[in-house]
Amino acid sequence: VLTPSGVYDRQFVARVIFSDESARRRLNSIIHPAVGRRLREFLDEQDPDATAAFVAIPLMRPEHRVQLALDEVWVLEVSPDEALRRLVAGRGMSEEDARARLRAQLDNEARRALSDVVLDNSGTPEHLRAQLEELLGRGV
């Protein structure tokens, strides 16, 4: 979907897929397998002696762990109110669009149930970095 100037209209697509479950399922059925294949290719290209590779997946689903052969799942958690605030302030979304996006995602409880490690992302980037450094220092 393109704007009149020929640029991909990310906001329009987001409004559609976060308000229409059927459209989201159709898009996910196209994108997720392609992303999974590319991710596996990328991981296969990495140093086999590396101790870890991190993959950022914005919308974790139960099937991702198996489909992507993930050894561990780490989740960044923030309160629903803070997530809403960040989408509106940081991305310039309307509150309605931000709420629709959040409703389409797993809630914190569901993400926690799928994860091995939960990181508190309600503070500063430095606070998050300190948590990561602590975990990596412990060999997690």
CA distance 49 to 77: 30
CA angle 29–60–11, rounded 5-degree value:
65
Domain presence at residue 101: yes
Domain presence at residue 15: yes
Domain presence at residue 5: no
CA distance 111 to 9: 29
CATH number of the domain that 101 lies in? 3.40.50.300
**Digit-coded pLDDT (tens) for 39-88:** 889 888 888 888 777 878 776 677 777 777 788 889 999 999 999 999 99
Q: List, in order, residues 6 or more apart from 122 with CB less than 8 Å away.
A: 77, 78, 79, 82
Q: What global pTM score does this model have? A: 0.72
Domain presence at residue 3: no
Domain presence at residue 28: yes
Domain presence at residue 58: yes
CA distance 95 to 101: 10
Q: Are 84 and 98 in contact (CB under 8 A)?
A: yes
In the chain, how many domains are there? Answer: 1
Range of the domain at 103: 10-137
Domain presence at residue 87: yes
**Digit-coded pLDDT (tens) for 82-125:** 999 999 999 999 999 999 989 988 899 999 998 999 999 999 99
Residue 47 exposed, middle or buried by CB count within 10 Å (0-12, 13-18, 19+)? exposed
